[in-house]
Amino acid sequence: MTESPRRTTALTDLLDEEETAPARPALRVVHEAGGIDLTAAERAAGQFLEALGVSTASESLRGTPGRMARAYAELFTPRPFDLTTFPNDEGYDELVLARRIPVRTVCEHHLLPIVGTAHVGYLPGARILGLSKLARVVEHFACRPQVQERLTKQVADWLETNLEPKGVGVVIEAEHACMTLRGVQATGSSTMTSTLLGLLRSDARSRSEFLALTGAAG
């Protein structure tokens, strides 16, 4: 992941230099992949299907290896975005929460889908965040082979580092195809994970509010 240099500005500095301080540049977030070779991936996909006894000789299956390669390339390539933040001029200090952000990733153990929703919230500090960027951060870390526990913590840790809020909370609830389609075949089961940082972890009122609004409290 490549990130452009980031200026950190204390709230007192923002107030003192309100008239002269330049706008804070947006943080450009780009996922650095190891390089995608679609030709090699298509060839490997064909060999994989053949090894499992699936013939790709028919008209309907002839293009399947290529479609597989392109599908996984898309799953592993998050879109770049700018982490746009703005001065918290009004001193807003209540919870900001984006609920039901779609989560789409694959289990790193079986490369089967993990599909669900994320609830991401924060208590603002000196700056507030463009709301769509919460979904972008989730996508950024979901577009790679994952485990749900790591994904939850990565989103929370990244927001804490780059936004510097007073608190961050992330709850993810998802269905794992590696549980529902194979093995135990626990159809309809879902997994919930959470990471709470700052005041959303240490302050009982803020913690309870966040968990209640995400539906994770009960």
Catalytic annotation, residues: 107-110, 148, 176, 178
Tokens of 67: 């479609």
Q: CA-CA distance, 204 to 77, in Å (whole number)? A: 38
From the list 156, 157, 19, 2, the residue with the least C-alpha distance to 87 is 19
Tokens of 208: 């309870």
The lowest-confidence range among 3-7, 50-54, 57-61, 113-117 is 3-7
Quick one: CA torsion of 64, 68, 71, 75, rounded to 10 degrees? 170
Q: CA-CA distance, 165 to 158, in Å (whole number)? A: 11
Over residues 116-172, the pLDDT tens digits come to: 999 999 999 999 999 999 999 999 999 999 999 999 999 999 999 999 999 999 999
Q: SS3 of 78, please?
A: coil
Q: What is the pLDDT of residue 32?
A: 64
Q: Which residues contact 104 (CB under 8 A, 6 or more apart)?
A: 75, 113, 114, 115, 142
pLDDT of 200 over the 60 cut: yes
Over residues 65-108, the pLDDT tens digits come to: 999 999 999 999 998 888 889 999 999 999 999 999 999 999 99
The lowest-confidence range among 52-56, 136-140, 176-180, 203-207 is 176-180
Tokens of 18: 């309100």
Q: What is the pLDDT of residue 188?
A: 83
Q: SS3 of 99, please?
A: strand
Q: SS3 of 39, please?
A: helix
Q: Measured at the alpha carbon of residue 205, what is the angle toward residues 154 and 101, in degrees to the nearest 5?
A: 40
**Residue 98 CB neighbour total at 10 angstroms:** 17
Q: CA-CA distance, 80 to 65, in Å (whole number)? A: 27
Asked whether the beta carbons of 121 and 94 are under 8 A apart, the reply is no
Tokens of 136: 């972008």
